[in-house]
């Protein structure tokens, strides 16, 4: 017996590392020391910071991976992996600094894995962070051959004086919703159940424009770091931010609010994309479950003073991202936990 006969091809692993070297190097920042292949990635903190704080986050892509692997769309989930992490850490006002990935598979498929890393590298470049390292674990007998799982880890940095915390949010602040790219990477266990019951194929279309359903479902999660950077550089005083992921607006928007406040949302203030209507109709999904599962077209939220709403929306427009004023912050009962009203609960 040898390792290859047991299901692990060491040489294929070496070839894979060589194959992704260019993608990894394309994300390099000036603070990075050394190169690919060490036991740990090394990076300096950006110069000129007085009291830097590190913000860390980790996430995966969930069961969207199943749909992507069935349809051989690997690059997009690499982008998803980065987006799910960086969109979380930027809510504190931090800039993504570096990213690490973990891929586990039953048997290494270099072409598919290289597509994933290429997507990860693209997400890192768009977010301004270095792909500092990663791990590819070949685990025969644990994962089926040709199948893989992903996890991502992001570290961001912010000057302590620039940290955005919920205590800055006050009653009377306005809430801006920023458009998503569709379902992003949440709720795919429900999505897959709907697809199975509707007997969907790769050629299934939906909506008045006859768009391809699978293609739109696999659209990568929108990356918001460059937009947030433009807002902060444009002197927009953001009081709070929320990444609308699993749990939708009801679970995520209150996370950027202080105790004693409520978010009052107007569900008619933005158009619900046809993709969500198709899912609801074909799955007979109750309205409450739609809100608590999907982003429904709003992938990120800003909380800021009323007088800066127009300026913030103009910056969104200049960045090619649609936005809408979707609600405001209200005072709640004394010492109440942050909540959201105006939607099915």
DSSP string of 169-225?
--TT-EEEEEE-SSSTTS-HHHHHHHHHHHT--TT-EETTTTEEHHHHHTPPPPP-H
Give the pTM: 0.94
Domain closes at, from 162, 195, 212: 162
Domain count, the chain: 2
If asked whether residues 174 and 84 sit together in one domain, one would say no
Q: Which residue has the tokens 């999505």?
A: 191
**Closest of 175, 330, 333 to residue 341, by C-alpha:** 330
The pLDDT, as a whole number, for residue 2 is 66
The pLDDT, as a whole number, for residue 14 is 72
Kindly state whether residue 200 falls inside one of the protein's structural domains.
Answer: yes
Domain closes at, from 111, 141, 162: 162
Domain closes at, from 141, 162, 183: 162
The pLDDT, as a whole number, for residue 308 is 98
Provide the CATH number for the domain around residue 176: 3.90.650.10
If asked whether residues 235 and 150 sit together in one domain, one would say no
If asked whether residues 204 and 158 sit together in one domain, one would say no
If asked whether residues 47 and 187 sit together in one domain, one would say no
The pLDDT, as a whole number, for residue 107 is 87
Are 49 and 88 contacting, i.e. CB atoms less than 8 angstroms apart?
A: no
If asked whether residues 118 and 178 sit together in one domain, one would say no
Kindly state whether residue 1 falls inside one of the protein's structural domains.
Answer: no
Element (H, E) at 89: helix 75-89
Kindly state whether residue 4 falls inside one of the protein's structural domains.
Answer: no
Q: Which residue has the tokens 């008045």?
A: 208
If asked whether residues 241 and 134 sit together in one domain, one would say no
If asked whether residues 116 and 182 sit together in one domain, one would say no
Kindly state whether residue 136 falls inside one of the protein's structural domains.
Answer: yes
The pLDDT, as a whole number, for residue 262 is 96
If asked whether residues 158 and 170 sit together in one domain, one would say no
Kindly state whether residue 138 falls inside one of the protein's structural domains.
Answer: yes
If asked whether residues 201 and 149 sit together in one domain, one would say no
DSSP letter for 342, please.
S
If asked whether residues 72 and 208 sit together in one domain, one would say no
Provide the CATH number for the domain around residue 62: 3.30.1330.10
The pLDDT, as a whole number, for residue 77 is 97
Kindly state whether residue 3 falls inside one of the protein's structural domains.
Answer: no
The pLDDT, as a whole number, for residue 310 is 98
Residue 182, Ramachandran bin (φ over 0: left; ψ between -120 and 50: alpha; else beta): left
If asked whether residues 191 and 269 sit together in one domain, one would say yes
Task: Identify the domain containing residue 238 by its residue range.
Answer: 166-341
If asked whether residues 50 and 179 sit together in one domain, one would say no
Kindly state whether residue 170 falls inside one of the protein's structural domains.
Answer: yes
Q: What does the pLDDT profile of the chain (345 residues) look like in tens digits?
A: 666 766 677 777 777 777 778 888 888 999 999 777 778 889 999 999 999 999 999 999 999 999 999 999 999 999 999 999 999 999 999 999 999 999 999 988 888 999 999 999 999 999 999 999 999 999 998 998 889 999 999 999 999 999 999 999 999 999 999 999 999 999 999 999 999 999 899 999 998 889 999 999 999 999 999 999 999 999 999 999 999 999 999 999 999 999 999 999 999 999 999 999 999 999 999 999 999 999 999 999 999 999 999 999 999 999 999 999 999 999 988 778 999 999 987
The pLDDT, as a whole number, for residue 211 is 95
Interior angle at CA 258, CA 257 and CA 261, nearest 5:
80
């Amino acid at each position: 017996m040898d390792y290859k006969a047991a299901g692990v091809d060491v040489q294929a692993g070496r070839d894979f590392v060589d194959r992704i070297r260019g993608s990894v190097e394309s994300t390099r920042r000036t603070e990075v020391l050394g190169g690919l292949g060490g036991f740990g990635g090394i990076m300096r903190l950006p110069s000129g910071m007085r009291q830097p704080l590190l913000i860390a986050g980790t996430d995966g892509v969930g069961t969207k991976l199943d749909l992507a692997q069935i349809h051989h769309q690997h690059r997009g989930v690499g982008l998803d992996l980065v987006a799910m992490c960086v969109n979380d850490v930027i809510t504190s006002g931090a800039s993504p600094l570096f990213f690490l990935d973990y891929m586990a598979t039953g048997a290494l498929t270099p072409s598919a894995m290289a597509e994933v890393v290429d997507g990860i590298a693209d997400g890192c470049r768009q977010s301004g962070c270095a792909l500092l390292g990663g791990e590819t674990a070949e685990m025969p007998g644990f994962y089926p051959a040709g199948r893989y799982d992903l996890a991502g880890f992001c570290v961001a940095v912010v000057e302590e004086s620039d940290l955005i915390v919920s205590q800055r949010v006050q009653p009377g602040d306005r809430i801006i919703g920023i458009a998503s790219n569709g379902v992003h990477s949440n709720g795919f266990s429900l999505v897959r159940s709907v697809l199975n019951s509707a007997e969907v194929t790769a050629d299934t279309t939906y909506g008045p424009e006859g768009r391809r359903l699978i293609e739109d479902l696999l659209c990568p999660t929108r990356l918001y770091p460059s937009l947030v950077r433009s807002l902060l550089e444009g002197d927009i005083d953001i009081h709070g931010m929320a990444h609308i992921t699993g749990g939708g607006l009801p679970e995520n928007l209150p996370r950027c609010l202080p105790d004693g406040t409520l978010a009052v949302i107007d569900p008619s203030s933005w158009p619900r994309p046809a993709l969500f209507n198709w899912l609801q109709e074909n799955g007979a999904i109750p309205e409450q479950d739609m809100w608590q599962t999907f982003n429904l077209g709003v992938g990120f939220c800003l909380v800021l003073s009323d007088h800066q709403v127009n300026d913030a929306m103009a910056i969104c427009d200049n960045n090619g991202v649609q936005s809408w004023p979707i609600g405001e912050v209200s005072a709640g009962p004394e010492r109440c936990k942050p909540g959201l009203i105006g939607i099915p609960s």
